[in-house]
């Protein structure tokens, strides 16, 4: 019984780290985040949540830009207004019970991983991403 209680406690505490729905964008100002869209599990997008990088400018629309921020697994491109749009390389999973599921971004593979003991709560039920339409193709 004690092991079961510790299991639920560890899943709940770890889940609290992402409960604010920052989509793994630590260090990105919420004001710079672009709108987030949710799609079903069979519609996995090619990129994740995006944001505008206010500290970078560019001169060739559509050109890839090197991201110099602290976060890994981010690709950036020059937008139509010569501002830089950056997106996570992978979409953020929607999980069955986000209050009990702990996700973290593996900086080597750029895939979101879950705590191995929280599997029932971490069933992927969809994906979060920013719909850029025809603006950018990563």
Q: For 114-127, write each residue's pLDDT tens digit.
A: 877 777 788 899 99
Q: Residue 124 falls within a domain, yes or no?
A: yes
pLDDT reported for residue 40? 95
62-97 b/e with 16+ CB inside 10 Å = b? eeebebebebebbbbbbbeeeebbbbbbbbbbbbee
Question: What confidence tier does 47 reach under pLDDT thresholds 50, 70, 90?
Answer: very high
Q: In 44-99, which ranges are E strands?
A: 50-57, 64-65, 74-78, 83-88, 92-95
Q: Residue 137 falls within a domain, yes or no?
A: no
Average pLDDT estimate for 106-113: 87
Average pLDDT estimate for 15-26: 44
- pTM for this entry: 0.71
Number of domains within the chain: 1
Q: Residue 73 falls within a domain, yes or no?
A: yes
d(C-alpha 2, C-alpha 43), whole Å = 40
Q: What residue numbers bound the domain in which 87 lies?
A: 2-129
Q: Residue 138 falls within a domain, yes or no?
A: no
pLDDT reported for residue 93? 92
Q: Residue 135 falls within a domain, yes or no?
A: no
Percentage of the residues of the chain whose pLDDT score is greater than 70: 72
Average pLDDT estimate for 6-17: 30
> For 75-100, what is each residue's pLDDT tens digit?
999 988 888 999 999 999 999 988 88
């Amino acid at each position: 019984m004690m092991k079961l209680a510790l299991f639920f406690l560890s899943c709940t505490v770890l889940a609290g780290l992402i409960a604010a729905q920052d989509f793994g964008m630590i260090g990105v100002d919420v004001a710079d985040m672009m709108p987030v869209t949710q799609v079903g599990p069979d519609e996995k997008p090619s990129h994740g949540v995006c944001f505008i990088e206010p500290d970078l400018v560019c001169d060739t629309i559509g050109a890839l830009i090197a991201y110099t921020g602290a976060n890994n697994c981010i690709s950036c491109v020059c937008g139509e207004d010569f501002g830089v749009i950056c997106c996570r390389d992978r979409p953020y999973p929607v999980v069955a019970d986000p209050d009990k599921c702990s996700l973290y971004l593996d900086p080597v593979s750029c895939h979101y991983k879950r705590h191995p003991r929280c599997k029932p709560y971490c069933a992927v039920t969809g994906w979060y991403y920013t719909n850029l339409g025809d603006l950018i193709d990563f």
